[in-house]
Amino acid sequence: MHPGTVGRPPRRTPVHPRLASYRIAVEKRRLNRAFTLIELLVVIAIIAILIGLLFPAFQAVQNQAKQTQAKNDLTQIVNAVNAYYTEYGKYPVSTADDTPIIPNSTLFDVLRNMTGANPGNTSNPRAIVFISPPYVKNTASPRAGIQSTGTNIGIYYDPWGTPYQVAVDTSYDNQMTNPYTADTGAGAATLGQGVIAWSLGKDATQGTNFNVSDDVLSWQ
């Protein structure tokens, strides 16, 4: 061995600059892929947590929107029945006084002028359209509109899928029996109105204590 080579590090094969840049780029891509995967997992976890926190709030907002829609529908129903009374001097039903009209299809057929001879029908001979609700979007699960097919054709459903309840003062004394227990949030035992309408709400059940009910009323 030549004396001049003692203690010197072994010679390294020089690396071409382009090859060095390529290796660096490959290493960066490898690191970036690993970092991106970690980020993705973190984002997924955060989204899952946010969904769990926000879903109840979203349901509450959605239910509030349905209550508002039901309230508007009830107002239109009462206005339509009162408009019929103004036009014909009577109410468009022959049911027992203060009794909910079930099913409600006959009432709305009269108010919509959808049955009988043309023009009009025996109960609406002037062919006046007093109310024009939309048809339901899904006839298999009707809600928020008039059923257009099947055995329940003509029934007016609330946003939760239950028929609207309507009662009319057929004794014409301007006194309606409150369907809820007096002084539980729905007024007195006797209501000074000629027509009332209500929705059974999300639970589709009518109780007697309105304070613990989710129903929607036309007279409130």
E strand or H helix at 41, and its extent? helix 17-88
The verdict on residue 163 lying in a domain is yes
- Overall number of domains in the chain: 1
pLDDT of 76-117, one tens digit each?
A: 999 999 999 999 999 998 888 889 999 999 999 999 987 655
* pTM for this prediction: 0.73
- H helix and E strand count, the chain: 2, 7
Distance of alpha carbon 103 from alpha carbon 142, whole angstroms: 15
The verdict on residue 198 lying in a domain is yes
Distance of alpha carbon 92 from alpha carbon 75, whole angstroms: 17
The verdict on residue 62 lying in a domain is yes
The verdict on residue 9 lying in a domain is no
Distances (CA, A) of 78 to 37, 132, 207, 208: 59, 13, 22, 22
Q: Cβ(169)–Cβ(195) under 8 Å?
A: yes
The verdict on residue 20 lying in a domain is no
Distance of alpha carbon 178 from alpha carbon 52, whole angstroms: 41
The verdict on residue 101 lying in a domain is yes
Q: Give me 191's structure tokens.
A: 């209501």
For residue 87, what pLDDT is reported? 94
The verdict on residue 40 lying in a domain is no
User: Which range of residues forms the domain containing residue 157?
Assistant: 45-217
The verdict on residue 132 lying in a domain is yes
pLDDT of 19-75, one tens digit each?
A: 556 666 666 666 555 557 787 888 888 888 887 777 777 777 888 999 999 999 999
Whether pLDDT at 166 is above 60: yes
Distance of alpha carbon 67 from alpha carbon 158, whole angstroms: 9
